[in-house]
Amino acid sequence: RRFLASKEQFHAYLRARGEPGGQAGGGGKVEEEEVEEKEEEEVGSCQSEPPAKRVKSEDLGQDGERREDAGAEEKEPVERKRARGQNKSRPCMKPNHYEQSRLCPSVTQGCAEKCYFGPRCRFLHDVGEYMAAKPADLGHSCVLFDTFGKCIYGVTCRFAQAHLGNGYQNIINTDLAKQWEGKSLVRNNLSKDLQHQLRKRKFIFKKADEYLRGLAKPHGDGGKGGKAMGRSTEEQEVSNCTTPQEGLGDSPECPVLLEQGEDPKPDTLQSPGPTGGEEASSVKTVGLVTDEDIIKLRSCEKKKLEIQGKLYLAPLTTCGNLPFRRICKRFGADVTCGEMAVCTNLLQGQSSEWALLKRHHTEDIFGVQLEGAFPDTMTKCAELLNQTIEVDFVDINVGCPIDLVYKKGGGCALMTRSNKFEQIVRGMNSVLDVPLTVKIRTGVQEKINVAHKIIPKIREWGASMVTLHGRSREQRYTRGADWDYIAECAKIASPMPLFGNGDILSYEDANRAMQMGVSGIMIARQVPVGALIKPWLFTEIKEQRHWDISSSERFDILKDFTNYGLEHWGSDTQGVEKTRKFLLEWLSFLCRYIPVGLLEHLPQKINERPPYYMGRDYLETLMASQNVDDWIKISELLLGPVPTSFTFLPKHKANSYR
């Protein structure tokens, strides 16, 4: 209790200390008398607790007196309103907000005479003029130059003094540069050629079009065409597979249709599309035609997804970027997955969406997650990725609870649209050469679980694995995950692997989860989170210990993240500010971590909201602050001062405590 403090004491301490690293000393330890007085005050006013918790304690008064006497307070809905979901209409910091005069890329790359924009170019071409207006450098060493022997950003680098010679010439360490020559550090980039094909709609979706023609084919009974499509030609091929797991759901009788009160349609199990001869004659081939071009890959011949018992870092919107995944990989994550990508944006060739698919060379087991609501776009997107990027699996997001996705029929809404859901899974499975996985929730409504009914169908439709988040859409990320229900679903899913997800913040939580009979655990949800609060959780699970990590060690993790960010997004002003933005997003979660040495009982629970407390030193106290200004202060320790009129509002509101 000696670390407890009031809100006023907490912020006064941070304001009084100017530099990190100093010991808290007497200022960090509240005297026993003050603590006792504070505890007495907590009974009445709860001033030592954050507003959200104060509201709850008032609402849940022991004898009801507080509710009756708080008539005036109840008239203030602003204080009682819980923060939910996303901060919409956030201020957007664009490059021209923090860099008015930008140098032309042709000058940076050493080919000023070949400017891409010609006489219409609005960027500077005079290096001297640019350097006169350029802000001061942020440090004496450039991570790109130190790592790769060359910084491609040249004079625009915010650490340029480390690699600029006379006349602003960019210095190159030839010996170090040769070591990296020809090596691909980041894969799955979007080429200009492919982007042009997608924008002009010239990319050919041969397999997807064949599958979709089968869906559109009219049937004799006038029913919905091709509901069980995807079994067609694949069905007959799979019948030769003897593995029980691969053959599940391949019998002529379809229990899915019977459960939904419809008659099984034998027509839908026949070969759907137009005759192969007609189509083959119109396809232009280059070179020799091999067996691979003609013979379709059977399900039992697909690459297996063998990740049972491994630690799976969940796809995390905004914060699950490549630099963060590198941090988690270093701490022991076995399986990583890119951020949720919207299939329609990928099909349009949007660079920002394709950036979510990038894979670092250290990610040995890597997948991508797709979100969509219709079989045509999802099947085409699956075929596109199958041909153009390197992944070990593709995941369908059927767990996203946000309104923007749900109202369009994607995410959790697919759990209530079984026809479309089936067509999507079967279609994607028919065009992919890698395993297909599905991530779902317990259901849409809070007290109505439907996952146990859907999981057997997903297995029959051809998915290789299911991940179940133990909360419904209405619960979002509040309340505790229902691990008893996850255990029940794991038995139903067998022999298909089922990974459980929810409320994993310590190795003890992980051990309890594995005892439920799941094949593995997925760590880090959006809110509340495990890996975003403590990325070293993977190390704790593998070493079966609680790690009382110091503030300096945590600060070193942030340093590594900024270095990875500068490598990935660039070391020029634009790259520095993008790195700062994602660092601040991560800090909005990191502040919820409570050091092990300060806890009265272990482990920390993911939904517990602590009172204000003083850390064991200034830096630990600063990292515990939930004030945006303090997060910005930490970013300035790593990336220098923020630009003029800088503003930041985290994407996600505080919705993890209840």
Q: Which residues form the catalytic set?
A: 400
Angle between helical axes of 375-388 and 206-216 (0-180°, round to 10): 160
Taking only Cα atoms into account, the Rg of the chain, rounded to an integer number of angstroms, comes to: 28
Reading the block at residue 578, the tokens are 């993008």
Alpha carbon 523 to its chain's center:
11
Q: In the 8-state DSSP scheme, what is residue 152?
A: T
Reading the block at residue 95, the tokens are 């490059």
Omega before 272 within 30 of 0, i.e. cis: no
Omega before 495 within 30 of 0, i.e. cis: yes
Find out whether 469 and 525 touch, Cβ atoms under 8 Å: yes
Angle between helical axes of 573-590 and 628-639 (0-180°, round to 10): 140
- The one-letter amino acid code at 125 reads H
- Rounded Cα distance between 138 and 636, Å, is 10
- Rounded Cα distance between 615 and 549, Å, is 12
Reading the block at residue 46, the tokens are 């709860």
φ, ψ for residue 498 (rounded to 5)? -130, 125
What 3-state class would DSSP assign to 298?
A: coil
Find out whether 74 and 80 touch, Cβ atoms under 8 Å: yes
**Length of the chain in residues, anyone?**
658
Residues near 560 by beta carbon (within 8 Å), at least 6 away in sequence: 327, 330
Q: Where are the alpha helices (DSSP H) in 341-450?
A: 343-347, 351-354, 375-388, 403-406, 418-431
Reading the block at residue 630, the tokens are 């303090």
What 3-state class would DSSP assign to 164?
A: strand
Task: List % helix, strand, coil for the chain (3-state, nearest 5).
Answer: 45, 10, 45
Scanning the structure block, which residue is given the tokens 């870092």?
313
- Rounded Cα distance between 105 and 548, Å, is 46
- Rounded Cα distance between 549 and 138, Å, is 28
What 3-state class would DSSP assign to 500?
A: strand
